Structure 1
Amino acid sequence: MYLEEIFIKKDISIREAIKKLDVTAKKILLVVEDDVLIGTVTDGDVRRWILKNGDLSFQVHNIMNKTPTSVPIKEKHLAKQYMKNKGIESVPIVDDKNKILDIVFWNDDVDLAINKFEKVSSPVVIMAGGKGTRLYPYTKILPKPLIPIGEFSITERIITRFTKFGCENFYLTVNYKKNMIKAYFDELDKDYQMSYIEEEKFLGTAGSLYLLKGKINETFFVSNCDILIEANYSDILAYHKENNNLITMVTSLKNYKIPYGVIKLGNNGRVVGTIEKPEYDYLVNTGFYVLEPETLEDVPENTFFHITDLINRYIDRGKKVGTYPIMENAWLDMGEINEMDRMMERLKL
């Protein structure tokens, strides 16, 4: 990576900064004037702005950290200690005039990327009972949870990310080709506990949670079996608890640009305005959640029921449902064949 790839000016829009964060995938941008560090922008800064419902067309100086941590070049060898003390993932290296000379990332060293975070032990439910019809013809032969992404199945990759944060207790909801799924995981040499929750009929994205009543009595994660989330799971859990949410949805910021001029109409077909190639930003549900155990009591018995049905019930009742936004590049979805190809490309498989 060239250092200049993560340089930005303070007057670019937050939307443009988000795009650059996605392209570089480094979770940090350095705001510079003549190569002098004047601020930083991280995915956390963007997340806080989104949660305030901030306008993404605003200039980036509205969200940048104006007093960023940096390390003098003569103390570069202490950079990892600085990051550990501050709980950050990267630190710029500067000269005595605050000109940027280098940047050190925590994960420059093998296997350090996760180790500095707080360990979590929450149970994990992976929803793996569906037919995966969008992945036909692959899923005519293999159930979606066993579709290989490189040398490992998608479900193994999901589990690996959770185990790096300390999770050891997994529940796999199964239905379609369930015997094949169970046989596969029973043969693996595992360092985690796997339990199977067997549906007798298709129950949607949340109906099978009813079968977990009495089995889970603490805050737990739920993940679809066709996604990978690159985020700090311990931070997601901490955010969920700090905000006293019943459910926290992990959402991804999606930007859509209309490649045409859009016409605004008034009465009787009269054109009242035009917008040239407008952009729209949305928070999209990724299929990754944190739930409190009492939510299991609100899942109907043996009923086709989506988790969005549960979320909408809570919203109607005034219960607290929150969101934890992540960058678009931090969410990989293999629900469709072209998206599966993108996932493998992103993981360089």
Structure 2
Amino acid sequence: MGKEDLTISEAMQGIDKNSFGILFLTDSNGRMSGCITDGDIRRFLLAGGGMEDPAIEAAERHPRYATDMEEAEILYHKKNYIVIPILNEDRVIIDLYCGKSLTEHRTRNSLKVPVVINAGGKGTRLDPFTRVLPKPLIPVGDLPIIELIMQEYRSYNCDEFHIIVNYKKELMKAYFSDNEANYNITWYDEEKPLGTGGGLSLLRGKLKNTFFFANCDALLTANYEEMLQFHRENRNVITMICAYKNINIPYGVVEMGENGVITNMKEKPLMSFLTNTGIYIVEPEVIDDIDDDEAIGFPDIIEREKQKGKKVAVFPVSENDWMDMGQLPELEKMRKKLFEE
């Protein structure tokens, strides 16, 4: 629970800290005034809202609630609710009903969308591990990162994989040739490094429909169905999945005007900004705009598509939904988060 005067940024942090994916807002007297989820925040931001705006502006002002546990159980199982708050006569939350299992309602629809994974880089940020193994095969717990990524897509019935390889590619192929999971993989060999986007030219004519495109060092646990729906409804040629990063500046920040006049001061402010996760939803026409053997980063491809007047957009997700293993400290954080060690 949180106070209704929280900002959007603060509400996001509150949501990330609980296991329900929802935050109930209360007034100064502790009475429930609304509830807010990641989806509410996303819609608010996409409509032009800001991170410092009051969370109550994005919240559901009249959420369903119960007055006792029996009523809560009936409501919870009547519809696909995440959690039902139980209020007393003063509208103060006295308990929460979340069913018998937190995973009970996390059913996933079949998307059947192809997945392209760029796994050709050297992974220099993970040196010296990548002197022995290619970055996609660096283990996180019991499995390499690329297989964890593929399992996430498989949970949506996305089981057609196209993997672009270069550095230590024979090790990659050997690992999957001996893998009991029997992944459906088509391999594409780069003859020279083509950057984070150029390797897509190897797939020219291979894909006829929308596809996911991902780097091999990021695991995303957000709702892929919502991303795909957003992409299609807005008729984007590329949708970039971005995560909000919230960083506390441990100093007082001063803004200065002409002649040194202080225009604003903030004590240890919270800074929020969007970060590219390296995961995209792409239309096949983008591949036709990449020349054969062209070395280019995918952000440069996005800029080129924009210059051509094509529609590209951002789908924002929570920082908590994005795990990046591109650096050793982040790799350890990912392991602890996935396996709760």
Q: Is the TM value for this pair above 0.5?
A: yes
Q: For residues 129-161 of structure 1, what are the alpha-carbon distances to aligned partners after superposition, in whole Å with 9 as ceiling and x for unaligned?
A: 100000000111111101100011111111111
Deviation of 1:94 after TM superposition, in Å, equals: 4.3
Correspondences of 1:15-26 after superposition (within 5 Å): 15-26=9-20
Of 105, 126, 130, which residue of structure 2 is paired with 1:135?
126
Q: Which runs of 5+ in 2 are unaligned?
A: none
Of 224, 230, 247, which residue of structure 2 is paired with 1:233?
224
What is the aligned partner in structure 2 of residue 330 from structure 1?
321
What is the aligned partner in structure 2 of residue 270 from structure 1?
260
Deviation of 1:93 after TM superposition, in Å, equals: 4.0
Q: Are the equivalent residues in 2 in contact too, given 1:106–1:113 (CA < 8 A)? A: no
Q: Are the equivalent residues in 1 in contact too, given 2:163–2:186 (CA < 8 A)? A: yes
Q: Are the equivalent residues in 1 in contact too, given 2:65–2:86 (CA < 8 A)? A: yes
What is the aligned partner in structure 1 of residue 93 from structure 2?
100
| Higher mean C-alpha deviation, range 40-49 or range 24-33 | 24-33
Amino acid at match of 1:165: Y
Q: Identify if the C-alpha distance between structure 1 residues 195 and 45 changes in structure 2 by more than 3 Å, giving closer, same or farther.
A: same
Correspondences of 1:160-309 after superposition (within 5 Å): 160-190=151-181, 192-267=183-258, 270-276=260-266, 277-309=268-300
| Higher mean C-alpha deviation, range 129-138 or range 289-298 | 289-298
Deviation of 1:35 after TM superposition, in Å, equals: 5.0
Q: For residues 159-218 of structure 1, what are the alpha-carbon distances to aligned partners after superposition, in whole Å with 9 as ceiling and x for unaligned?
A: 111111111111111110000000001111125411111111111111111111111111
Q: Identify if the C-alpha distance between structure 1 residues 67 and 263 changes in structure 2 by more than 3 Å, giving closer, same or farther.
A: closer
Q: Are the equivalent residues in 1 in contact too, given 2:176–2:183 (CA < 8 A)? A: no
| Higher mean C-alpha deviation, range 325-334 or range 51-60 | 51-60
What is the aligned partner in structure 1 of residue 60 from structure 2?
65
Of 14, 31, 34, which residue of structure 2 is paired with 1:39?
34
Cα distance between partner residues in 1 of 2:160 and 2:95: 41
Q: Which runs of 5+ in 1 are unaligned?
A: 1-6
Cα distance between partner residues in 1 of 2:98 and 2:155: 18
> Counterpart of 2:205 in 1: which secondary structure?
coil
Q: Identify if the C-alpha distance between structure 1 residues 150 and 75 changes in structure 2 by more than 3 Å, giving closer, same or farther.
A: same
Q: Identify if the C-alpha distance between structure 1 residues 106 and 236 changes in structure 2 by more than 3 Å, giving closer, same or farther.
A: farther
Q: Is 1:89 aligned with 2:79?
A: no
Cα distance between partner residues in 2 of 1:107 and 1:123: 34
Deviation of 1:315 after TM superposition, in Å, equals: 1.7
Matched-pair identity in %: 38
Cα distance between partner residues in 1 of 2:315 and 2:74: 32
| Higher mean C-alpha deviation, range 126-135 or range 299-308 | 299-308
> Counterpart of 2:157 in 1: which secondary structure?
coil
> Counterpart of 2:195 in 1: which secondary structure?
coil
Deviation of 1:50 after TM superposition, in Å, equals: 1.6
Deviation of 1:114 after TM superposition, in Å, equals: 3.6
Amino acid at match of 1:70: Y
Deviation of 1:242 after TM superposition, in Å, equals: 0.7
Q: For residues 68-109 of structure 1, what are the alpha-carbon distances to aligned partners after superposition, in whole Å with 9 as ceiling and x for unaligned?
A: 13345323433553343xxx4333344676543433447825
Cα distance between partner residues in 2 of 1:260 and 1:97: 41
Q: Are the equivalent residues in 1 in contact too, given 2:73–2:99 (CA < 8 A)? A: no
Deviation of 1:18 after TM superposition, in Å, equals: 1.5
Q: Are the equivalent residues in 2 in contact too, given 1:128–1:145 (CA < 8 A)? A: yes
Deviation of 1:341 after TM superposition, in Å, equals: 1.0
Q: Are the equivalent residues in 1 in contact too, given 2:7–2:52 (CA < 8 A)? A: yes
Q: Are the equivalent residues in 1 in contact too, given 2:72–2:84 (CA < 8 A)? A: no
Deviation of 1:266 after TM superposition, in Å, equals: 4.3
Q: Are the equivalent residues in 1 in contact too, given 2:21–2:38 (CA < 8 A)? A: yes
What is the aligned partner in structure 2 of residue 342 from structure 1?
333
Cα distance between partner residues in 1 of 2:333 and 2:49: 30
| Higher mean C-alpha deviation, range 38-47 or range 184-193 | 184-193
Amino acid at match of 2:42: R
Q: Are the equivalent residues in 2 in contact too, given 1:114–1:165 (CA < 8 A)? A: no
| Higher mean C-alpha deviation, range 297-306 or range 55-64 | 55-64
Cα distance between partner residues in 2 of 1:182 and 1:107: 42
Deviation of 1:294 after TM superposition, in Å, equals: 1.1
Q: Are the equivalent residues in 1 in contact too, given 2:72–2:85 (CA < 8 A)? A: no
